[in-house]
Amino acid sequence: MPRGQTILLVISGGIAAYKSLDLIRRLRERGYAVRAVMTRAAEEFVTPLAVGALTGGKVHTDLFSRDDEFDIGHIRMAREPDLIVIAPATADLLARMAGGHADDLASTILLATDRPVLVAPAMNPRMWAHPATRRNVARLADDGIRFVGPNAGEMAEGGEAGLGRMAEPLEIVAAAEAILKPGARPLAGHHVLVTSGPTHEPIDPVRYIANRSSGKQGHAIAAAAARAGARVTLVSGPVAIPDPPGVTTVHVETARQMLEAVEAALPADIAIMAAAVADWRAAEELDAKLKKDGTGAVAPLPLVQNPDILATLGRHHTLRPDLVIGFAAETNDLKAHAEAKLRSKGADWILANDVSPETGVMGGDDNTIHLVTTSGVEPWPKMTKTEVAARLVERIADRLGKSGSGA
């Protein structure tokens, strides 16, 4: 436990400020002392009282506080912590940091500090993509500022979606610990192989068989494994989300291409098969578009089974990974199907989830997992897919730590 290390949390104004409360709790669970500074805009979203109740100390808000500044408090706050975390970091605060402004307590501390700074941006996707923000981020990165996120997903504004959501608290914690404990990345030295997204199985030149998988869960797992120090190979079907940073991504279309890419990526220490691979494909891909004949007859579309990638890895004779993890996306009898899949595929763990339409899991941002192993079934609470990824990596690291290897 990292006793004695202090993190100064700067909370700026944005709806994501509510996540800072959970971030404080997560940091304190791991033994860090947390001090907090809030901008005036942040107080419109969360109160200093709530933040102070979780940090267990005074929340600082005013550059000209008579109580704090009698001993030049902003300099003291800039130099005392082991790490400064800004979560959320708005476009405005990033711009002021890049420009070297010092017109409130937060920006003054950030200009005066000689400590590492970790930034978790949060803003509308168009603001994040704006050339001015891109310039500011590049300037700050050149100055040595570290970034975690932002993530893709739904925005607070109705109908808005894209890259701009603040990283989840567990992601920020992992990024902070990678700075504070650079030698303690639990998956360092391990090769992690992840599959993600759907596969598209062509019927004719314009149609294909597919499913509603977005790839959000698999991509989040790949990103979490990379943050934990692993060398990560991600084999992704067709998705509309960006490749995770720090990950080698191989793009494929079909199940057979995915299997080929997975086998080419071996050997791996850990395999996490999160892709929603199509079970079936057309027996023959037609050269011309399949046409209606006007009779109302059933279309002649014979199907054949696709290769089983999870079973291929789970029962690989020469290059089986030490830990093979699969997903069971079910619409009924969740636990029974997952337990059967664990046995039949030769997997070590199965992460089972209910993907019935009413759950919103397929394509959504949240997931509810049951971890199925030979020891039993462990239900996890509903979490974001990023939080699921972080928890899974923690469980993998725990297993590696107990066994001394990936077995």
Residue of higher predicted confidence among 267 and 291: 267
- Residues 277-306 have a mean pLDDT of 85
- 81 marked among binding-site residues: no
Structural domains of the chain in order of their starting residue, each with its CATH number: 6-183 (3.40.50.1950), 186-403 (3.40.50.10300)
Residue of higher predicted confidence among 332 and 323: 323
Using the predicted structure, report yes or no on whether residue 121 has a pLDDT greater than 80. yes
Using the predicted structure, report yes or no on whether residue 265 has a pLDDT greater than 80. yes
- Residues 372-400 have a mean pLDDT of 91
Entry pTM: 0.62
Q: How far apart (Å, rounded) are the C-alpha atoms in residues 31 and 35? A: 13
SS3 21: helix
Query: For position 311, what pLDDT does the model report?
Result: 94
- 309 marked among binding-site residues: yes
Using the predicted structure, report yes or no on whether residue 283 has a pLDDT greater than 60. yes
- 279 marked among binding-site residues: yes
Region of poorest pLDDT, from 57-66, 110-119, 121-130, 275-284: 57-66
- Residues 250-256 have a mean pLDDT of 94
- 308 marked among binding-site residues: yes
Mean of the per-residue pLDDT values for the chain? 86
Region of poorest pLDDT, from 74-78, 178-182, 202-206: 74-78
Q: Are strands 349-354 and 369-373 parallel, antiparallel or unpaired?
A: antiparallel
Going across the sheet that includes 59-60, the strands are 59-60, 33-38, 6-11, 83-89, 117-121, 146-147
How is residue 76 written in tokens?
A: 């003291």
Active-site residue, from 124, 136, 151, 211: 211
Buried residues in 317-333 as b, exposed as e (16+ CB within 10 A):
eeebbbbbbbbbbbeee
- 345 marked among binding-site residues: yes
In this predicted model, what pLDDT tens digit does every residue of 191-249 receive, in sequence order? Answer: 999 999 999 999 989 899 888 889 999 999 999 998 888 889 999 999 998 888 778 89
pLDDT band at 254 (very low <50, low <70, confident <90, very high): very high
Q: Are 39 and 68 in contact (CB under 8 A)?
A: no
pLDDT over 90 percentage in the chain: 44
Query: For position 212, what pLDDT does the model report?
Result: 86
- 19 marked among binding-site residues: no
Query: 211 an active-site residue?
Result: yes
Query: For position 1, what pLDDT does the model report?
Result: 40
Query: For position 68, what pLDDT does the model report?
Result: 54
**Residue 225 β-bridge partners:** none
- 291 marked among binding-site residues: no
Number of H helices, E strands in the chain: 13, 22
Q: Are strands 280-282 and 270-273 parallel, antiparallel or unpaired?
A: unpaired
- Residues 50-66 have a mean pLDDT of 83
**Residue 146 β-bridge partners:** 118
